[in-house]
């Protein structure tokens, strides 16, 4: 089937999905159960992907992302069930009133339509994305990485035993060409979401004529203000850097006020030494940190996604704000402070999806925010910003009920 044909099929199915209520929940619960029932086939397909990956010299960490186990498949099924049982995001009335001429107006949520997702090696994205898109009444076309093709095919075959035809389709040719073609499928796709590394996201953002929602690139900061509690600062930085360095809400740079640097930096460094974090400092920071290596200009702009942290001493909140405005990816930033005024200024001035006072940036997550499962963290300002869950996979329309009104 060509991508055009897949698009037409998805669009047709999207019209049916838009009219479905509780049937969506039932279909997704059955699909989750089908993952369990088809576990053997999925594991066998995954085994083939793993063998091919090993032969191609894939790194251990990539192989680990690709690997499925009975526990991981159970986790995928449970995640689908959670989304299946969430409140229906479609058909909510966001506002309504009767106009002076008697026309009754309502603004209601509706599905987006057809969603395309381009992603890399993790096969759990296949079931996660399917559950979120279908629960919000959308058809979805998935284009996963070639490393996970057999796993994804097996997962999609299992899920499709329970879903309406056309609701979930997998691009069988995971080439660059198919990604490019998806980016031009404006007749059928309402939105394209890239999930993966910065390179993938940039390529989709630059190349797509379908509207894109940018997700998941970080370069997050913690600013330690002059009034900060040093222990709290050290703990927050330790958590934000080391609890999971490979994720987008981990921090990459700390900015430390010069008035507290002499006291705070050794305490912070000592905590980070427990996890062998490499520090890359500005000249003044290096003078206070014997282990640090000099940071380059590039380091300030880099999302290390590793046990590496850039450290800069600044002389004011304004200098910290300017640094963040220049280098941040607009994801999550935190200030550690005891000053009411500086806390409020930081919250107001930092132009990121999530801005924290005295807490770790690692909380930027749909579940942690109390918003439920998400398809990614949007770092753009249009349509969705921050965790992109069921609500952000819908649009709205206006319904108007009259009795012959003319203007």
User: Which residues contribute to the site for a second copy (CB under 8 A)?
Assistant: 15, 18-19, 97, 99, 103, 105, 107, 110, 112-113, 190-191, 205-206, 209, 211-213, 229, 232, 235-236, 238-240, 243, 325, 343, 347-349, 351-360, 362-364, 368-370, 380-383, 385-386, 395-407
Rounded alpha-carbon distances, angstroms, from residue 148 to 53, 279, 320: 9, 35, 42
Smallest gap, in angstroms, from Cβ of residue 25 to a second copy? Answer: 19
Radius of gyration of the chain (CA): 24
The packing angle between helices 70-84 and 39-55, to 10°, is: 120
Q: Which residues contact 370 (CB under 8 A, 6 or more apart)?
A: none
Nearer to a second copy, 32 or 346 (CB): 346
Smallest gap, in angstroms, from Cβ of residue 24 to a second copy? Answer: 15
**Which burial class, exposed, middle or buried, applies to 212 when counting CB atoms under 10 A from its CB (0-12, 13-18, 19+)?**
buried
Nearer to a second copy, 210 or 265 (CB): 210
Nearer to a second copy, 287 or 357 (CB): 357
Nearer to a second copy, 142 or 354 (CB): 354
Closest CA to 127 of 71, 170, 166, 90: 170
- Please write down the long-range contacts of 60-67, taking CB distance under 8 Å and 24 or more positions apart: 62/121, 62/147, 65/121, 65/122, 66/121, 66/122, 66/123, 66/147, 66/148, 66/151
CB atoms within 10 A of CB 317: 21
Smallest gap, in angstroms, from Cβ of residue 192 to a second copy? Answer: 11
Residues 160 and 168 sit within 8 Å (Cβ to Cβ): yes
Smallest gap, in angstroms, from Cβ of residue 360 to a second copy? Answer: 5
Nearer to a second copy, 1 or 400 (CB): 400
Smallest gap, in angstroms, from Cβ of residue 350 to a second copy? Answer: 8
Residues 197 and 203 sit within 8 Å (Cβ to Cβ): no
Closest CA to 210 of 186, 180, 176, 179: 186
Smallest gap, in angstroms, from Cβ of residue 234 to a second copy? Answer: 11
Nearer to a second copy, 81 or 190 (CB): 190
Q: Which residues contact 249 (CB under 8 A, 6 or more apart)?
A: 218, 220, 240, 331, 332, 361, 362, 363, 364, 365, 377
Nearer to a second copy, 26 or 244 (CB): 244
Smallest gap, in angstroms, from Cβ of residue 148 to a second copy? Answer: 28
Closest CA to 222 of 363, 340, 341: 363
Smallest gap, in angstroms, from Cβ of residue 293 to a second copy? Answer: 26
Nearer to a second copy, 1 or 325 (CB): 325
């Amino acid at each position: 089937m060509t991508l055009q044909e897949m698009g037409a099929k998805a669009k047709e199915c999207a019209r049916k999905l838009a009219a479905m209520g509780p049937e969506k929940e039932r279909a997704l619960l059955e699909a989750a159960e089908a993952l369990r029932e088809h576990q053997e086939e999925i594991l066998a397909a995954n085994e083939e992907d793993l063998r091919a990956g090993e032969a191609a010299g894939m790194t251990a960490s990539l192989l680990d992302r690709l690997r499925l186990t009975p526990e991981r498949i159970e986790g995928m099924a449970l995640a689908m069930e959670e989304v299946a049982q969430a409140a229906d995001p479609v058909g909510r009335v966001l506002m309504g009133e009767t106009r002076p001429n008697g026309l009754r107006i309502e603004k209601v949520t509706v599905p987006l339509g057809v969603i395309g997702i381009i992603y890399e090696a993790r096969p759990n994205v296949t079931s996660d994305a399917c559950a979120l898109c279908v629960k919000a009444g959308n058809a979805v076309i998935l284009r996963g990485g070639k490393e996970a093709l057999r796993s994804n095919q097996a997962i999609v075959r299992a899920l499709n035993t329970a879903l309406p035809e056309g609701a979930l389709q997998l691009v069988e040719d995971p080439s660059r060409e198919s990604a490019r073609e998806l980016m031009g499928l404006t007749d059928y796709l309402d939105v394209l979401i890239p999930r993966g590394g910065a390179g993938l996201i940039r390529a989709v953002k630059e190349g797509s004529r379908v509207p894109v929602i940018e997700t998941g690139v970080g370069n997050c900061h913690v600013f330690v203000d002059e009034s900060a509690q040093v222990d709290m600062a050290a703990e927050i930085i330790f958590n934000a850097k080391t609890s999971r360095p490979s994720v987008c809400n981990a921090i990459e740079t700390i900015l430390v006020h010069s008035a507290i640097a002499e006291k705070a930096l050794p305490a912070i460094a000592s905590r980070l030494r427990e996890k062998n974090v490499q520090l890359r400092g500005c000249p003044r920071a290096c003078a206070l940190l014997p282990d640090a290596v000099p940071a380059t200009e590039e380091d300030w702009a880099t999302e290390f996604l590793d046990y590496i942290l850039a450290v800069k001493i600044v002389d004011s909140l304004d200098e910290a704000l300017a640094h963040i405005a220049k280098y941040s990816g607009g994801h999550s930033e935190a200030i550690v402070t005891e000053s009411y005024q500086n806390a409020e200024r930081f919250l107001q001035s930092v132009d990121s999806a999530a801005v924290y006072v005295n807490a770790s940036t690692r909380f930027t997550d749909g579940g942690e925010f109390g918003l439920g499962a998400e398809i990614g963290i949007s770092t753009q300002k249009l349509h969705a910003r921050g965790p992109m869950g069921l609500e952000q996979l819908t649009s709205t329309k206006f319904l108007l009920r009259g009795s012959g009104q003319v203007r």
